């Protein structure tokens, strides 16, 4: 027992030393990614960049068939045929929005920004790979760590669907990932057993009518008025169809209709998101939403169409693998660094992996506790991180991979 404890203590120091030695490089890598963001499905240069970093480690990555994103196996020790496989996942795409920070590494691509931390996620997984390679001679377990660099996470239903469809998670016994959280201080990680995020779908409602003059709205269908009615009344109508108010939440983000002040338009569109914390409610969402619109529009002379695009289910963390991840946080960052975190209404394509295999997704603290600046939310135009979080994430993921390999080897 003593020799095992001593060897793991030595391994912990070896991993910590490797991440610490890489800290400056990891910051440079993250800033390079941050300055050159690419939209979902267009991450060509990002994929090339990751590919080269993996090859520099002596690894052999495989591109996804769709052309962006890749997976790569890091073989540890001398694994036999039945040795376990554990996956670490990063998302690599950016958002269609401006980067309004005044920093040297701000986005050089107009209208595209890493305002959700995917540059940090990618660098942390690469950092974990670097640390595991550096500490390979001290490892006490054999197996494979599969590095998954998922494209198009910000799209619906997310690049995870492609990763799964191509069979890249076949044989994987557990999967882990981290997501930046500006509400949590750097050096802390938010963990939760069970549902961490919510299901999220995209919806578009198209209304049509004959159009007419604003002087005589009674002679036509007032589409703008109907759009306003839907914006203000759809949520309350949905609440009548669910067990509890708020079980299914609709928020509209776009309204388009008409151009002239004195013309009642013949066409209008509403776009929004439907979110629920409950997996069972998510399964019933298309029927619930359609029933709500039927109730609100049935007495109108307008015609309507619903385009309902299924998004992602909730991220539901496995209890055993969350325990592995929490232990990894303690090994990497010290005791007391795991903090409780609530289920959010945000969605994440990591959920698709957890529909297939056990794993855990956690929130990586990225806020500088000494900062007097406000804690900006994800997707803010000036979103940034305390870059010490990169090394924290790399170390946690490396320890989580080893902890899961040990557990799966028993």
Taking the CB of residue 146, how many other CB atoms lie within 10 A of it?
21
Sequence-distant (6+) residues with CB within 8 A of 80 are: 142
- pTM for the structure as a whole: 0.92
Q: CATH second-level architecture of 2-197+314-409?
A: 3-Layer(aba) Sandwich (3.40)
Phi-psi region of 171 (alpha: psi -120 to 50; beta: other; left: phi over 0): left
Tokens of 119: 């540059």
List 309's β-bridge partners, or say none.
202
Rounded to whole angstroms, the Cα distance separating 224 from 210 reads 13
Tokens of 7: 């060897």
Rounded to whole angstroms, the Cα distance separating 94 from 34 reads 9
For residues 155 and 40, the answer to whether their CB atoms sit within 8 Å is yes
Selected from 3.30.70.360, 3.90.1330.10, 3.20.20.540, 3.40.30.10, the CATH number assigned to the domain covering 201-312 reads: 3.30.70.360
Taking the CB of residue 330, how many other CB atoms lie within 10 A of it?
15
pLDDT score recorded for residue 6: 65
Rounded to whole angstroms, the Cα distance separating 30 from 141 reads 30
* Nearest one of 302, 162, 332, 278 to 220, comparing CA atoms: 302
List 212's β-bridge partners, or say none.
264
What is the separation of C-alpha 16 from the centre of its chain, rounded to a whole number of angstroms? Answer: 26
What is the separation of C-alpha 383 from the centre of its chain, rounded to a whole number of angstroms? Answer: 16
List 250's β-bridge partners, or say none.
274
Tokens of 178: 């981290």
pLDDT score recorded for residue 137: 84
For residues 231 and 252, the answer to whether their CB atoms sit within 8 Å is yes
Q: Which helix (H) or strand (E) holds 213?
A: strand 212-213
SS3 sequence, 43-110?
Answer: CHHHHHHHHHHHHHCCCCCEECCCCCCEEEEEEECCCCCCCCEEEEEEECCCECCCCCCCCCCCCCCC
Rounded to whole angstroms, the Cα distance separating 384 from 362 reads 19
Rounded to whole angstroms, the Cα distance separating 349 from 237 reads 29
- Three-state DSSP at 344 gives coil
Burial of 4 (0-12, 13-18, 19+ CB in 10 A): exposed
- The pLDDT averaged over each successive group of 10 residues in the chain (410 residues) is 67 89 97 98 98 98 97 90 94 97 97 97 98 90 96 95 97 98 97 97 96 94 96 97 94 96 96 96 96 95 95 97 98 96 96 97 96 88 96 98 94
Rounded to whole angstroms, the Cα distance separating 268 from 72 reads 47
Taking the CB of residue 284, how many other CB atoms lie within 10 A of it?
16
Taking the CB of residue 231, how many other CB atoms lie within 10 A of it?
15
β 143-150/85-91 pair status: parallel
pLDDT score recorded for residue 3: 58
SS3 content of the chain, % helix, strand, coil (to 5): 40, 25, 40
pLDDT score recorded for residue 314: 96
- Three-state DSSP at 189 gives strand
Task: Return the residue matching tokens 């409780």.
Answer: 340
Phi-psi region of 211 (alpha: psi -120 to 50; beta: other; left: phi over 0): left
Q: Phi and psi at residue 274, in whole multiples of 5°?
A: -110, 125
Domain-by-domain residue ranges, the chain?
2-197+314-409, 201-312
């Amino acid at each position: 027992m003593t020799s095992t404890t001593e060897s793991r203590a030595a391994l912990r120091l070896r991993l910590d030393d490797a991440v610490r030695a890489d800290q400056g490089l990891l910051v440079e890598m993250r800033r390079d990614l941050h300055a050159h963001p690419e939209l979902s499905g267009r991450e060509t240069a990002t994929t090339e960049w990751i590919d080269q970093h993996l090859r520099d480690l002596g690894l052999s990555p495989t591109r996804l068939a769709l052309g962006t994103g890749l997976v790569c196996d890091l073989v540890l020790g001398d694994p036999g045929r039945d040795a376990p496989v554990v996956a670490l996942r990063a998302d690599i795409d950016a958002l269609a929005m401006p980067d309004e920070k005044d920093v040297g590494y701000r986005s050089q691509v107009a209208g595209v920004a890493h305002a959700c931390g995917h540059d940090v996620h990618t660098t942390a997984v690469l950092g974990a790979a670097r640390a595991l390679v550096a500490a390979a001679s001290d490892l006490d377990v054999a197996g494979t760590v599969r590095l998954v660099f998922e494209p198009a996470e910000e799209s619906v239903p997310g690049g995870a669907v492609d990763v799964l469809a191509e069979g890249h998670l076949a044989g994987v016994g557990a999967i882990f990932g981290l997501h930046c959280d500006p509400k949590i201080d750097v050096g802390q990680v938010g963990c939760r057993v069970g549902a961490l995020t919510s299901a999220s779908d995209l919806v578009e409602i198209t209304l049509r009518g004959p159009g007419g003059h604003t002087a005589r709205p009674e002679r036509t269908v007032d589409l703008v008025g109907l759009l306003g009615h839907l914006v203000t009344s759809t949520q309350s109508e949905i609440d009548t169809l669910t067990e509890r108010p708020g079980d299914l939440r609709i928020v509209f983000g776009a309204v388009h209709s008409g151009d002239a002040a004195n013309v009642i338009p013949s066409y209008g569109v509403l776009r929004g998101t439907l979110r629920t914390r409950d997996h069972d409610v998510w399964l019933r969402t298309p029927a619930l939403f359609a029933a709500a619109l039927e109730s609100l529009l049935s007495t109108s002379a307008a015609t309507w169409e619903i385009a309902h695009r299924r998004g992602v289910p909730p991220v539901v963390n496995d209890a055993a693998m969350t325990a592995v991840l929490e232990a990894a946080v303690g090994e990497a960052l010290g005791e007391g660094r795991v903090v409780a975190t609530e289920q959010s209404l945000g969605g994440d394509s990591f959920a698709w992996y957890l529909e297939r295999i056990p794993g855990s997704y956690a929130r990586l603290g990225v806020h500088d506790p000494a900062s007097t600046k406000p804690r900006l939310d994800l997707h803010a135009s000036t979103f940034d991180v305390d870059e010490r979080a990169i090394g924290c994430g790399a170390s946690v993921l490396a320890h989580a991979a080893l902890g899961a390999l040990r557990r799966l080897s028993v």
